[in-house]
């Protein structure tokens, strides 16, 4: 599902696209046959079964970066158009509008799969339920279908509303150490209370998940990461489908690219040519490729026609699927180095230090300009 940094999909608005992989083999995937006018749509997964036993729809609507005055209508239209999966998060600051859109759609709550995410300021055990209760109130529901730890990084909470609390001396984001096991245990308790049906993580490495497994009573059913044609992470995807020693399959989720750079595979000439050859749009091609590789996709749009088109997934011919696989650059766009934490095990201390200093300087200039 989605992270806080920017991920474009469409060239006009750099909308984000997220993906998710599941924990069960292809034989356990529910399939239906569909067809469309310009290209024969073959069977693709319509939902995936998670470790919790619940089904998650293969295509949903992402709400990251959707403006408050737009997201309500987008959610309402998506649900009326057949979507049954809505992705949200506290840090998106639009969950109230998401809840209004769900209510306005008229679709019964029991038929909708809603995801939300625990933000970094509420990782301490005593803060987890508070954060969830705010989300539930905003979404106008008494439970979420999936709740994720948004990042494996904890902030020193100032209050329930401040997303990026600053350290009083360094003026950098105030990062603190809260064991993931502590946060996870609190989330497990909320599953038992009935406020959450499935729990998972986001932006976790394989090593972090394996470490969590050592203490988890309930295994994480989802790991949301950055993934797209330019960062396909085949090793992590393959590992997610392997059985662990207990016979439980690992899981995975994916995302697209960086909004600030506006780098998106949807603009790739090869993607464009392949889509044209099939009578489809580039976004439809990427979404279908994502589902075909075993992941749930959460394209974001507030345009009614695009919301509808994004829901039309189809099975790619083998040669087209392989050509998209060949686009992998192993290039990560979404890395918040400004936090000073080596989240993915890919940065050296000096690089992180400079990133923090640069961010602090930029923020000081912004505040000075607002004074």
Whichever domain contains 117, its CATH number is 3.20.20.100
Residue 223 shares a structural domain with residue 349: no
In a domain, 90, yes or no: yes
Please indicate, yes or no, whether residues 142 and 53 belong to a single structural domain of this protein: yes
Q: For residues 201 and 347, state if they share a domain.
A: no
CA distances from 291 to 39, 158, 200 (A): 17, 40, 19
The pLDDT of residue 361 is: 96
Look at residue 243 and tell me if it is in a domain. yes
What pLDDT is stored for residue 45 in this prediction?
Answer: 81
Establish if 211 belongs to a structural domain: yes
Does residue 151 share a domain with residue 130? yes
Please tell me whether residues 330 and 344 are part of one structural domain: no
Q: Which residue has the tokens 């399959």?
A: 249
Residue 6 lies in a domain: no
Question: What residue numbers bound the domain in which 364 lies?
Answer: 335-371
CA torsion 273→277→279→281, rounded to 10°? -20
Residue 43: predicted pLDDT: 64
3-state secondary structure of 144: strand
| Residues 311 and 170 occupy one common structural domain | yes
Statement to judge: residues 229 and 368 lie in one domain: no
- Per-residue pLDDT at 9: 35
- Looking at the structure, tell me whether residues 34 and 170 fall in a common domain: yes
Q: Model-level pTM?
A: 0.87
Catalytic residues, which ones?
Answer: 92
Residue 227 lies in a domain: yes
Determine, yes or no, domain membership for 8: no
Q: Are residues 287 and 339 in the same domain?
A: no
**Long-range Cβ pairs for the range 318-324 (8 Å, 24+):** 320/274, 320/277, 320/278, 320/285, 321/289, 321/292, 323/270, 323/274, 324/229, 324/270, 324/271, 324/274, 324/285, 324/286, 324/289
Residues 98 and 143 in one domain: yes
- In tens digits, what is the pLDDT along the chain, a chain of 371 residues? 322 233 333 333 333 344 444 444 333 334 333 333 334 444 688 888 898 999 999 999 999 887 878 999 999 999 999 999 999 999 999 999 999 999 999 999 999 999 999 999 999 999 999 999 999 999 999 999 999 999 999 999 999 999 999 999 999 999 999 999 999 999 999 999 999 999 999 999 999 999 999 999 999 998 888 888 998 989 888 888 775 554 444 455 445 443 434 457 888 999 999 999 999 999 999 999 999 988 888 888 999 999 999 999 999 999 999 999 999 998 888 888 999 999 999 999 999 999 999 999 999 999 888 75
* Nearest Cα to Cα of residue 96 among 129, 134, 64, 132: 134
Counted domains in the chain: 2
The whole-number pLDDT of residue 239 equals 86
Residue 5 placed within a domain: no
Do 124 and 235 fall within a single domain? yes
- Both 308 and 352 in one domain: the answer is no
329 assigned to some structural domain: yes
At residue 83, the pLDDT reads 97
């Amino acid at each position: 599902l989605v992270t806080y940094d920017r991920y474009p999909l469409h060239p006009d608005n750099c909308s984000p696209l997220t993906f998710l992989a599941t924990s069960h083999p292809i034989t356990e995937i529910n399939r239906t046959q569909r067809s469309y006018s310009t290209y024969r749509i073959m069977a693709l997964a319509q939902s995936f079964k998670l470790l919790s036993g619940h089904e998650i729809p293969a295509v949903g609507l992402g709400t990251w970066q959707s403006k408050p005055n737009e997201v309500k209508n987008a959610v309402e239209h998506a649900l009326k158009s057949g979507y049954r999966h809505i992705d949200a998060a506290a840090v998106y600051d639009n969950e109230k509008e998401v809840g209004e859109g769900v209510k306005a759609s008229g679709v019964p709550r029991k038929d909708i799969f809603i995801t939300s995410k625990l933000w970094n300021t509420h990782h301490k055990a005593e803060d987890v339920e508070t954060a969830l209760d705010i989300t539930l109130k905003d979404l106008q529901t008494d439970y979420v279908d999936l709740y994720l730890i948004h990042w494996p990084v904890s902030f020193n909470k100032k209050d329930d509303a401040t997303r990026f609390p600053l350290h009083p001396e360094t003026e950098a984001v105030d990062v603190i150490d809260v064991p993931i096991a502590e946060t996870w245990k609190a989330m497990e308790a909320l599953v038992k209370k009935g406020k959450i049906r499935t729990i998972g993580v986001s932006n976790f490495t394989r090593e972090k998940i394996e470490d969590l497994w050592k203490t988890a009573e309930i295994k994480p059913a989802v790991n949301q990461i950055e993934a797209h044609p330019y960062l396909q992470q085949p090793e992590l995807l393959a590992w997610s489908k392997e059985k662990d020693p207990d016979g439980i399959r690992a899981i995975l989720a994916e995302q697209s690219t960086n909004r600030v750079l506006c780098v998106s595979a949807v603009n790739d000439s090869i993607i464009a040519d392949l889509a044209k050859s099939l009578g489809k749009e580039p976004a439809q091609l990427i979404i279908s490729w994502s589902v075909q590789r075993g992941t749930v996709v959460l394209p974001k749009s507030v345009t009614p026609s695009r919301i509808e088109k994004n829901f039309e997934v189809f099975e790619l011919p083998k040669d087209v699927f392989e050509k998209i696989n060949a686009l992998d650059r192993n290039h990560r766009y979404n890395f918040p180095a400004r936090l000073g934490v080596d989240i993915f095990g890919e940065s050296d201390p000096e690089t992180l230090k400079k990133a923090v200093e640069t961010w602090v300087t930029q923020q000081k200039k912004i505040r000075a300009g607002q004074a």
